Amino acid sequence: MAYEGLMVSVSGVRGRVGEALSPEVVARFAAAFGAWATARRGAGETRAVVLGRDSRVSGPLFHRVVLSALEAVGADVIDLGLTTTPTCQLAVEHHHAAGGLMISASHNPIEWNALKFIGPSGSFLSAEEGAEMRAAMEAGTSYATWDRLGHVTSDFDAAARHVEQILGLPFLDVEGIRDRRFHVALDAVRGAGAVIMPMLLERLGCTVRAINLEPDGRFPRPPEPVAENLGDLEALVRESGAAIGFATDPDVDRLALVSERGEAIGEDYTLALAARTVLKHRRGPVVTNLSTSRVVEDVAAAAGVECLLAPVGEVNVAVKMRDVGAVIGGEGNGGVILPELHLGRDAPLGAALLLQLLVEEGRPLSAIVADHPRYVIVKDKLDRPPVPLDSVYQALRGAFPEASPDTQDGLRLSWTDRWVHVRPSGTEPIVRVIAEAPSLPEATDLVSRSRKPVEALFAK
């Protein structure tokens, strides 16, 4: 099958609606996944596939397409309807399902949508599993006869179970959080977080002032919860006197923070501060990806534990966490993973851990952030050249011979106080160039120098 115009990655397949991502494409991938997942199910796993979608405008259309495709290959569908990616992952585990499909393009702009493939463990498919599933699809999908079609049931309790599992974490001081009666500001970007985030925060005794709670997928701002997109939340924090502001992306696996001063502090600090909380109660390695701020490494070092790096992509981090017995991990885009809950990024979890940190520290968020070294990250992107990036990596290693290279995912060059990472995106047709340094001019210079070999490929 030709994948032109589609982004096929470790987390699934995504594209622009009405262009590369058509109902036919969605049906073919969904049917192939359903047939593959149910055929390889293990002992104790059912023929069920859990299905959920975020609030994107194209979500209801693709939801109907995927529902029919799964039934057509004989998979029983447990339908969550509008939900979050972590809720869908937890539901796969709860129902002992053969797998799960989440219809969501995460932080991508409004014209995108995607299918995210979830294995029976509740984690996204690994690269090997994804390749196996696509090979099965290309070999041809067998459809069920009339007497073997799947059937559909609904699960209306998945979000409530998700909240209960967070509240049941043994080191979460639920009563202590409730006693503080925090005022919290929330920006749900008209995404799936509009239901679960207020539910969790109210169970934790918080008074919530929220914007963008209508889950219709008509995003009022760019959906990626990076600092430059959070001006309205910053204003809401200042106006309401909130102790903290939370912003989620459309499928609620990423969380960004605004301090009580009304200042977005950068999505990399979500994982760092969550790790600071967990490492007071659990001892073990921390895992994050190669494009995450050094502040996470600083938190691990202060706790006397190791911080290990994995390729970008939730499943890559989750696999390494499992392999090394990590107590917490995630990605610098605001994704927090706690193995005691599940091996997936989880914004409601992150919010609970941050409230726990405010209780334990007894200080404002801005004061806690001030404990940590401040780095500046500059993120840039270029169109992806039509040729491999090997020559780019070679040129960069020659330009920075004193740096330590890491080739797990593109090329990351690191020094004691800075790094630069050049890699092709798995979710967009671009090359990402990300650098971090103690100051903006130093980070900008690293990005500028690292762009040149990529730009040279277009000049040839």
Position 10 scores a pLDDT of: 65
For domain 7-156, give the fold.
Alpha-D-Glucose-1,6-Bisphosphate; Chain A, domain 3 (3.40.120)
What is the helix (H) or strand (E) element at residue 202, kind and residue range? helix 193-203
Residues of the chain above pLDDT 90, percent:
85
Confidence of residue 454 (pLDDT cuts 50, 70, 90): confident
Residues of the chain above pLDDT 70, percent:
99
Average pLDDT over residues 224-246: 97
Which class in CATH covers the domain with range 161-369?
A: alpha beta
What is the helix (H) or strand (E) element at residue 234, kind and residue range? helix 231-240
Cβ 223 vs Cβ 373: under 8 Å: no
Neighbouring-strand partners of residue 373: none
- First vs last Cα of the chain: how many Å apart? 30
Average pLDDT over residues 299-323: 95
Alpha helices in 257-389 (DSSP H): 268-278, 294-302, 314-324, 347-361, 365-369
Position 460 scores a pLDDT of: 60
106 is catalytic: yes
Confidence of residue 276 (pLDDT cuts 50, 70, 90): very high
Domain boundaries, the chain: 7-156, 161-369, 376-459
Cβ 75 vs Cβ 218: under 8 Å: no
Pairing of strands 307-310, 286-289: parallel
Mean pLDDT score of the chain, rounded to an integer? 94
Say what the pTM is.
0.94
Give the 3-state secondary structure of residue 316. helix
Using one digit for the tens of pLDDT, what is the confidence trace for 385-441? Answer: 888 889 889 999 999 999 999 999 999 999 999 999 999 887 677 899 999 999 999
Average pLDDT over residues 201-219: 97
Cβ 367 vs Cβ 425: under 8 Å: no
DSSP assigned state of 329: E
- Greatest Cα pair distance in the chain: 66
Position 427 scores a pLDDT of: 67
Neighbours of 394 (CB within 10 A): 12
Q: Do domains 7-156 and 161-369 have the same CATH topology?
A: yes
Position 230 scores a pLDDT of: 97
Position 348 scores a pLDDT of: 98
Q: What are phi and psi of 10, to 5 degrees?
A: -65, -25
Task: Look at residue 130 and tell me whether its pLDDT is greater than 70.
Answer: yes
Using one digit for the tens of pLDDT, what is the confidence trace for 42-58? Answer: 777 889 999 999 999 99
| Helices 158-167/347-361 angle, 10° precision | 30
Tokens 């277009």 locate to 458
Position 1 scores a pLDDT of: 55
Look at residues 123, 52, 67 and name the one whose alpha carbon lies nearest to residue 93: 123
Position 41 scores a pLDDT of: 84
Look at residues 229, 227, 231 and name the one whose alpha carbon lies nearest to residue 257: 227
Position 456 scores a pLDDT of: 83
Which class in CATH covers the domain with range 376-459?
A: alpha beta
Cβ 231 vs Cβ 185: under 8 Å: no
Using one digit for the tens of pLDDT, what is the confidence trace for 286-296? Answer: 999 999 999 99
Confidence of residue 124 (pLDDT cuts 50, 70, 90): very high
Which of 11, 106, 293, 414 does the annotation list as catalytic? 106
Neighbours of 140 (CB within 10 A): 8
Pairing of strands 255-258, 244-248: antiparallel
Higher-scoring residue by pLDDT: 205, 391: 205
Using one digit for the tens of pLDDT, what is the confidence trace for 316-366? Answer: 999 999 999 999 999 988 999 999 999 999 999 999 999 999 999 999 999
Average pLDDT over residues 168-196: 97
Task: Give the separation between CA 398 and CA 400, rounded to whole angstroms.
Answer: 6
Using one digit for the tens of pLDDT, what is the confidence trace for 68-109? Answer: 999 999 999 999 999 999 999 999 999 999 999 999 999 899
Angle at CA of residue 330, ends 327 and 335, nearest 5°:
130
Give the CA distances from residue 252 to residues 105, 197, 369, in Å, rounded to whole numbers and listed in that order: 11, 9, 23
Strand order in the sheet with 419-424: 376-383, 430-437, 419-424, 411-414, 404-406
Confidence of residue 223 (pLDDT cuts 50, 70, 90): very high
Q: Token digits for 440?
A: 């903006």
